[in-house]
A and B are shown apart, each in its own frame.
Chain A
Amino acid sequence: MGRLASLLILVGLAALLFAAPGHEVASSGPPGPEQTLPTQPLAIVVNRSNSVDDLSSIELRRVFLGERSHWPNGRRITLVMREPGEPERKTILRDVCQMNESELKTHFLHGLFTGEILVSPKILATSVGVRKFVFNVPGAIGYLRLSDVDNTVKIVRVDEYLPEDKGYKLHVEVRPGN
């Protein structure tokens, strides 16, 4: 009985382990019941007039948490986010901010209240909106699937990697219909 209980606990732990986020594997194959979902790179984009070409993971985290307010050229940083629940936002929260939605919300509420954060992120409904926003606002920074990027915006290297590079960290799931 005790062995059976131990076995059941182990199976349950294993199931939880595989179901937990952050353990997706990049794959280009079609999704199947036994496979993880395919992913594609998530590019960090800024206005083309922005002189910044490269950001470290730490700098990127500070930017997306509102802890860094200005670019080196003095332009105020305007953060552009997708709406809660969108895969791109989840990727950023998980891989860049390392927070969940409520933690992020609390972080910004606290920062705005204390004055440590000047402007809350702009929430846009579509990737096209993000692209247009970044195009229109010189100090804007946002994220887009690589397939949504065009020449109206500029991709920023993260830890010296471009989205096409092998060691690039930010990837988003490709779901049917996305």
Chain B
Amino acid sequence: MGSSAKYEAAQSQVALVPTVDRVLSAVLRHNATLLLVLVFCAVAVVGVFVIRDLQTANAEAESIYAVSVQGLRQIGELQFDAQETRRATLYALTTNDSNLQLEYADQSRDADRRVTDGIAQYMHQAKLPAEVLLAGRLTHDWANYLSIRDEVLASILEGSTKEAVSLDLSGGVPSFERVRQDLNEVKRSYDDQASQRLASVVGTSRRSAVRLIGILGFTFLLSSTAVWAIQRSRMLSAIQLAKLQMEFVASVSHELRTPLTVLSSAADNIADGLVEGKADLKKYGTVLQNQSRQMSGLVDQILLFASTEDRKRRYVLQPLEVTQIVDALETSTHALTQGAGFAVERQIEPGLPQVMGDLSALTQCLQNLVGNAVKYGSPGRWIGLRAFRGHAEHGAGEEVRISVSDKGIGMDRSEIPHIFEPFYRSPRVNAMQIHGTGLGLSLATRIAETLGGRLSVVSELSVGSTFTLHLPVVERERLEMSGVGSQPNSSKQT
């Protein structure tokens, strides 16, 4: 595999890892939102079930009314009209006036017509075999009664009251009793149907209630869990932050104590007259100079981090040549890399466009990356500085990438999401007694983002790491409007 293929593979990893990181970060950051969405989905699903149950109950209720209640009402009317048929017939017995008897006969026939129609309607509606059988029996019994009723009426109109009464007692009463029983049976059948449907409605309502109680309980439980999770998350974050800050304080103290001890010892030796000769004095002066610079650098970094804490630090943006940035970086880190015995390999793609940035801030950002490469790149003692052209994320045009690579201890994939967090120190490097504040990468990220860029990393354990600074290129129109490169009047503040 050639170096370009390796580079492409590394670049795809560079692209993939931040994506996964962002997803994981979003999941962690928006866990409350996710819980709410989950609750909403659950409520919506159960709500759909409840609405369906209510619709079913409604349909059942309508069905009860349409079939059973209407049926019962019709049967009630049939019972009344059947009684009316009989009542009018018997009333005809109470008079000898043929005209009045005929009126009663008419009333009886009107009522029997309504009953006959009602029975025919019931027969038409009957669907179950038992209903059809019952309807047939009712029709037959009613016809029997009517034939006897006609005979009774005829006897009454003829004036044969005794014969009419005798006919009614022998035939009319039993046949009417059969009709009455049939009608009662029909009524019972409607009652049974209504009871069954009512039981179904009750079942559906109960199911809806259980579901509602269930979803309320579920929502309450989930909400409680969410609140608990959020509180716990905040508490853990606070504990973690406190722990990191404690570690930071310890680390800074340690970082300050070491040069202070050296300074103190050197000062004691000079004060005690133990340093003799110009050469020793020069040696001590160099030591004092290095240690005070180290302390000064540390303090500067802490102050810089503090100043970027609110992300409102103002930078002077201006078009910069990439070589200008890399040169400044090399100059500022020369002593460090040389002192640590690192070989620096510089590779800049020709014809790179200008980038918009603050030189001092960019140098600081890249300096932190080089400082880390020196700190964690000991096995290889090699640092690669590379500048090249690339495509910005989401198709936002071109960008310039400046990468700092090392062949050091590398990182585990699980550590990568945390390395840009302030005060984060890998347990592995702590165990290896590699000192640091945990602010370098966080600071570099803040600077990169403030300048409109970003930082990405690809790393492999025991192989090495590559940190890349992505910077937006200066738009051609702006360049033309501002004139030549890095003129002071072309700058802007951010």
Contacts and interface: CB of A to CB of B under 8 A. Distances in A.
Contacts of A139: 154, 158
A129 B98 contact: yes
Interface in A101-126: 119, 122-126
A137 B157 contact: yes
Interface residues of B, number: 11
A78 interface: yes
A143 to B, nearest CB: 15
B106 interface: yes
A133 B159 CA distance: 12
B64 interface: no
A139 B154 CA distance: 8
Contact of B159 (A119, A126, A132, A136): A119
Interface string B151-169: 0011001110000000000
Given A78-B157, A136-B154, A138-B154, A123 B105 contact: no
Contacts of A137: 153-154, 157-158
A119 B158 CA distance: 8
B102 interface: yes
Contact of A129 (B102, B153, B158): B102
Interface in B155-195: 157-159
Interface in A80-97: 80
Contacts of B157: 78, 122, 133, 136-137, 140
A122 B105 contact: no
B99 interface: yes
Contacts of A78: 157-159
| Residue in A80, A125, A126, A136 with the greatest tally of chain B CB atoms within 10 Å | A136
Contacts of A132: 102, 105-106
A68 interface: no
Contacts of A76: 158
Contacts of B106: 132
Main secondary structure, interface of B, reads helix
Given A132-B105, A132-B106, A124 B99 contact: yes
A129 to B, nearest CB: 5
Interface in B7-52: none
Q: How large is the interface on A (under 10, 10 to 19, 20 to 34, 35 or more residues)?
A: 10 to 19
A132 B102 CA distance: 7
A136 B164 CA distance: 13
A124 B98 contact: yes
A125 to B, nearest CB: 5
B158 A124 contact: no
A126 B102 CA distance: 11
Contacts of A80: 98
B80 to A, nearest CB: 23
Contacts of B158: 76, 78, 119, 137, 139-140
With a 10 A CB-CB cut-off, give which of A76, A80, A126 has the most chain B CB atoms.
A76
Interface string B88-124: 0000000000110010011000000000000000000
A123 B98 CA distance: 7
Contacts of B150: 136
A112 B308 CA distance: 136
A47 to B, nearest CB: 9
A136 B157 CA distance: 8
Given A119-B159, A132-B105, A125 B154 contact: no
A122 B159 CA distance: 9
Contacts of A122: 98, 157, 159
Q: Which of A123, A124, A137 has the most CB of B within 10 A?
A: A137
A70 B281 CA distance: 167
A134 to B, nearest CB: 10
A168 B280 CA distance: 172
A71 to B, nearest CB: 13
A163 to B, nearest CB: 24
Given A119-B158, A119-B159, A139-B158, A133 B153 contact: no
Contacts of A140: 157-158
A136 B106 CA distance: 10
Given A76-B158, A140-B158, 11 more contacts: A80-B98, A119-B158, A119-B159, A122-B98, A122-B159, A124-B98, A125-B99, A132-B102, A137-B157, A138-B154, A140-B157
17 contacts: A122-B98, A122-B157, A122-B159, A124-B99, A124-B102, A125-B99, A126-B99, A129-B99, A132-B102, A132-B105, A133-B98, A133-B102, A136-B153, A137-B158, A138-B154, A140-B157, A140-B158
Interface of A: 76, 78, 80, 119, 122-126, 129, 132-133, 136-140
Top-9 shortest CB links A-B: A122-B98, A137-B154, A78-B158, A137-B157, A132-B102, A125-B99, A136-B105, A136-B157, A136-B153
